[in-house]
Each structure stands twice: as C-alpha cells, then as structure tokens.
Amino acid sequence: PRAVPAHPDVGLMALPQPAAFCPRCGRTLVDGACADDGYRWYPDPKVAVGVLVGDAAQRLLLVRRNHEPAMGAWAFPSGFVDAGEVLEEAAAREVVEETNVEVAVDALLGAWSTAGNPVVFLAYAGHVVAGTPAPGDEAFEVAWFPADALPPLAFDHDAEVVDAWRRWRASEGH
C-alpha cells in the first residue's frame, strides 16, 4: 500500500499559516494569541466524507482515482463536504459523482484524523439503491471487490476504515 495522506485531496492544500495580527486590535499575535484582547486564531479543519458501498455478496465498490494525490490508486468514493452541506448528503453526492450510482447511507463508521493534517475524514457504510456502477469525472475505473481480497488502497487510514466496516457488518448480522 502507498503511504500518502489520510484523505484523497489533502495533498492539494497546505496547512493554513497562522495569522500574524489580531483582527480586532491589530496587535501582533504571539503563538496565535493576542495578549491585549484575548483573541485566538484557530485554523479550520477540512471535513471529508467517504462511503464504503457494500453489497450482499460482501463486496465493496471502489474507484480508481484519476487525480492526485494517489492518482491511479483504488479508494472508497470520497471527497470534501461543501459549506452548509449535511454530511450524509455530501457522502451520497460523492458516490454519485464518482460511480454514477445512488446510495442509501446506512451508518457512520467513524472519524479519522492525523496530527498536522487539516482533514477530518468521516466514513459511512452504504448500499446501492439505483444505477449501474460506471466511472464518473473523478475516476478512471469503478469495480466491485470481495471485501477479503481488496487491492492495495490509496490512503493510510483505509485498513482501519475497512475494519470498522467489517465490525459494523458483523454487528448488523450481515
């Protein structure tokens, strides 16, 4: 497996640089804080979602990425949440954009983050409700893989995410 950032698009962004001056009083910030009025600068995280789309045959639907980072690697359908978007709706949207299938989002599997990385990744379990898998604009290829015979996956948390999906499936009696 490739050792790349935890989320598909994190390589495209740098960590935000701390503010140098207080937006309230204009004084210099020290370690992101203003000693005069108590203002503190906080960088905003970037929220991403992905869906482990499973079927009754214990397979997962994966996409082969057509953009960096990890271009050409297999991954779960995933992407960033738009401002004001509901997480589950963003997850379902990403699946449609990358695989041309509509899914029902069944459960939150967990959240993953890494120190120094602005991306917080939330993974969901889901299943197809309409459509036939075909590559969308962000995928070279879309394919079903047996959950016990997945290809090498693109990102560093992927093995943990698959384990969470397996635990969820077992708890649901699948």
Q: What is the pLDDT of residues 110-159, one digit of tens each?
A: 999 988 788 899 999 999 999 999 999 999 999 999 999 999 999 989 99
Query: Residue 122 pairs with which residues in a beta bridge?
Result: 49, 111
Beta bridge partners of 51: 124
Please compute the mean of the pLDDT values over residues 75-81 and round it to a whole number. 97
pLDDT (mean) for 67-90: 95
The whole-number pLDDT of residue 87 equals: 98
Per-residue tokens: 56: 């009754």
In angstroms, the Cα distances linking 138 to 6, 63, 65, 107 are: 18, 9, 6, 24
Region 98-109 average pLDDT: 98
Taking residue 132's Cβ as centre, other Cβ atoms within 10 Å add up to: 9
Annotated catalytic residues are: 141
Encoding tokens for residue 21? 């001056």
What per-residue confidence (pLDDT) applies to 15?
A: 52
Burial class of residue 86, CB neighbours in 10 A (0-12, 13-18, 19+)? exposed
Q: Which residues pair with 21 in a beta bridge?
A: 28
Query: Could you read off the pLDDT of 4-60 as tens digits, one per residue?
Result: 344 444 444 445 666 788 888 888 989 888 898 888 877 788 999 999 999 999 999
Least confident of 12-21, 59-68, 89-98: 12-21
pLDDT of residue 40: 83
Q: Which residue ranges make up each domain of the chain?
A: 43-171
Contacts of 165 (CB under 8 A, 6+ apart): 52, 54, 60, 109, 123, 125, 147
What is residue 2's predicted lDDT score, i.e. its pLDDT?
34
What local confidence, expressed as pLDDT, does residue 53 receive? 99
Superfamily designation of domain 43-171: Nucleoside Triphosphate Pyrophosphohydrolase (3.90.79.10)
The answer to whether residues 5 and 156 touch, using CB atoms and an 8 Å cutoff, is yes
